[in-house]
Structure 1
Amino acid sequence: MDFNIIRVARIVMNVTDLNASRDFYVNALGFIETESDGQHIYLRGLEEHCHHCLVLKKADQPGVHSIGYKVWHQEDLEKIERLFKERNLFTQWEEAGKQRALGRVLKATDPSGMPLEFFSKMETVERCLQKYDLYKGARIQRIDHVNCMVPDVEKAVAFYTDELGFRCSEYTATEDDRTWAAWLHRKPSVHDIAFMNGEGPRLHHVGFWLSDPMSLIHSCDVLASMGYADCIERGPGRHGLSNAFFLYIRDPDGNRLELYNGDYLTCDPDFEPVKWDINDPRRQTFWGHKAPDSWFEEATEFIQQESGLPVGQSKAVLAQQKPDFVT
């Protein structure tokens, strides 16, 4: 691999009401609002020095415009472009300044149909890690990962590991040893992106890192006190897979977020992926309780970079849509 993708770094997604979204993301969850205009809100976590990790874009209906990855060098962008072109996949250049705070951007579409962006330069801003007077709500620290529903997980995993240099930390297998889901990383943690079997491609959730498990509990109290209790979909709990504490919530437009803390290092070259049986109840929640059906059925559609229309979806290759166990 002659290029270096560092990490997942930003998401651009639609919201229908900027003021309602600001109340949820800034006042309830504690994101830092770097800036805004009549069509966008640019958000970051308390420890982030990049201009933003999340762009909320005003639109008539929900949708995800792109998953953005930061690369090490400008030259890496040309190398990634060559790879995508060799695989007959869509690419398009966007010059510096076209999107707020970003340098030159390579837009691309992966084999599952998901819109991606690669960049090496983003404007920097003041880190707020030790501005404890600004800590409120969930006290969001940084973007951690994305999880996507795709119709063919094995195809997606092969492209990201063989072509883009991602490594697998953990995966879920069916009874006939097919890969039902996989967690892939570039940074030395459990994942930057996960793929799960389902109709897609669709964005299942964006995960944000919190400083400690009690921050998840505090988030529930804040959400409930502000009238957002119905936004809590699942948790808090501990995953078996990844070992992390989690809380899944839905924003006012139904976009799913995971508040996340407590996974582990994966940087050793001899680290072996952890295999989970899809029907092991400890896999999704170490304490054994099931996720709601909405967690396996509902997700946000992607938007084509070429046309602005929704990305077409396909049915999942594997028939099993969720774990089959009784608690």
Structure 2
Amino acid sequence: MRDELERRQPTRLLPGRLPDASGDAEPRLSALAGIHHVGLRVADLDEAAERWSRQFGLTIGERHADRAYLRCGFEDYSLELIASDSPGFDHAGWELGPGRSFADLGVDGELIERPDGRAPSLLLADPDGFGVEIVEWTPRESEFPDVARLSGDLPGLHPRRLGHVNVLSEDVQRLSRFYVDDLGFRVTDYLGDEGIWLHLNADHHVHAMVQKSPTHFHHFALELADIGEMRVALDHLAKHGRWVVWGPGRHGVAASLFAYIRIPEDDLIVELYADMEQLRLDHKPRDWEDTPHSSNVWGTLPPRTYFRFDEEAIEIERGQLQALGRLPD
């Protein structure tokens, strides 16, 4: 992560389920409103900005010597690209709610300057070393819905918004405690002892973590309107040599339509999703059985390579070696 911040340990380590799992303890309200952006380190800034724009329909906004900012629609920005010799995930950006401040969070971090007169942000790291950036609330330019707004630069096919991030962790209990205890996220669901989904607003989740080794960033998700738009997006990505790692399908947990796309250049996966579950005000965390139905109600589990980011896994997917029965020894 930027400036190689040391791993930050959570303030409380308690055994068993998180505080709100049974409903006996009410978690504090978070000062955070939701996800703001994802930051990626890239080897070639110009190539990466053009690639994300051309393939995923993101609009290039501000450009600087070492950074580029892209957005899905009318938001501030959804993707921050950072020139680096070590490509990969850098950080997830989270937005404070209106009228909230860094002091409301009560966590320590490094104040950093942001481009073009934006207020400074707070940078820290979670227990797994993943970057966390807290930014101040950015008021919308218009109170009207995006579909009613005019634009001179949005492409015909573009995501509605950035929805969430997902990571692989060797200790999901420790990692989730940091987000719940220190940042005020709330638990949505458990998948046995293998996964935890967290929310900040009505969306089923803005962060998810799966118990896997080694620890690695897995994916960020871009929302589409429906499965018809997903079909158009997948046809478009296929023309650019992209392949679907898993999907299309329908998650049990979160209820969303999904398709996962491998991005080897940036050492991650992108999920295209639609129709995510919206939580009721009286939502309580649920315990899902770890069954195929929980992962995909349409019935197909992910290939083993879905949780891998090594070169062999990528070549297995690229050549469809698993389906052809030609897996390496």
Question: Normalized against structure 2, the TM-score is what?
Answer: 0.76
- Residue 182 of structure 1: aligned partner: 196
- Residue 317 of structure 1: aligned partner: none
1:266–1:123 Cα change, 3 Å? closer
Distance 2:139 2:86 in 1: 29
Alpha-carbon shift at residue 136 of structure 1 (Å): 4.4
- Residue 261 of structure 2: aligned partner: 249
Q: Is the 8 A contact 2:121 2:135 kept in 1?
A: yes
Alpha-carbon shift at residue 163 of structure 1 (Å): 3.4
Question: 5 Å matches for 1:34-73?
Answer: 34-46=61-73, 48-50=74-76, 52-73=77-98
1:152–1:25 Cα change, 3 Å? same
Letter in 2 for 1:255: L
1:209–1:264 Cα change, 3 Å? same
The answer to whether structure 1 residue 221 and structure 2 residue 257 are counterparts is no
1:187–1:4 Cα change, 3 Å? same
The answer to whether structure 1 residue 108 and structure 2 residue 133 are counterparts is no
SS at match of 2:225: coil
Letter in 1 for 2:182: E
1:68–1:137 Cα change, 3 Å? same
Aligned residues: 279
SS at match of 2:201: coil
Q: Is the 8 A contact 2:31 2:100 kept in 1?
A: no
Alpha-carbon shift at residue 103 of structure 1 (Å): 1.3
The answer to whether structure 1 residue 24 and structure 2 residue 37 are counterparts is no
The answer to whether structure 1 residue 283 and structure 2 residue 283 are counterparts is no
Question: Percent same amino acid among aligned pairs?
Answer: 25
The answer to whether structure 1 residue 198 and structure 2 residue 212 are counterparts is yes
Alignment equivalent of 2:248, drawn from 213, 231, 236: 236
Alpha-carbon shift at residue 66 of structure 1 (Å): 1.5
Q: Is the 8 A contact 1:11 1:53 kept in 2?
A: yes
Distance 2:167 2:212 in 1: 9
User: Deviations 1:66-115 (Å, cap 9, x if unpaired)?
Assistant: 211101256530232x3x35xxxxx21224x4x45641211122233322
Distance 1:8 1:138 in 2: 22
Q: Is the 8 A contact 1:102 1:123 kept in 2?
A: no
- Residue 159 of structure 2: aligned partner: 140
1:214–1:133 Cα change, 3 Å? farther
Q: Is the 8 A contact 2:254 2:277 kept in 1?
A: yes
Distance 1:191 1:214 in 2: 23
Alpha-carbon shift at residue 124 of structure 1 (Å): 6.4
Alpha-carbon shift at residue 133 of structure 1 (Å): 7.7
1:101–1:187 Cα change, 3 Å? farther
User: Deviations 1:138-182 (Å, cap 9, x if unpaired)?
Assistant: 521111000011211112223322332222222200xxxxx2111
The answer to whether structure 1 residue 163 and structure 2 residue 188 are counterparts is no
Q: Is the 8 A contact 2:88 2:266 kept in 1?
A: no
Distance 2:210 2:308 in 1: 11
- Residue 136 of structure 2: aligned partner: 120
Question: Normalized against structure 1, the TM-score is what?
Answer: 0.76
When the two chains are superposed, the root-mean-square deviation of aligned CA atoms in Å is: 2.6
Gaps of 5+ in 2: 1-27, 311-329
1:123–1:188 Cα change, 3 Å? closer
1:255–1:101 Cα change, 3 Å? farther
Q: Is the 8 A contact 1:93 1:107 kept in 2?
A: yes
Q: Is the 8 A contact 2:40 2:266 kept in 1?
A: no
Letter in 2 for 1:246: F
User: Deviations 1:16-43 (Å, cap 9, x if unpaired)?
Assistant: 2334323431112111111323432211
Distance 2:191 2:103 in 1: 34
SS at match of 2:134: strand
Q: Is the 8 A contact 1:28 1:138 kept in 2?
A: no
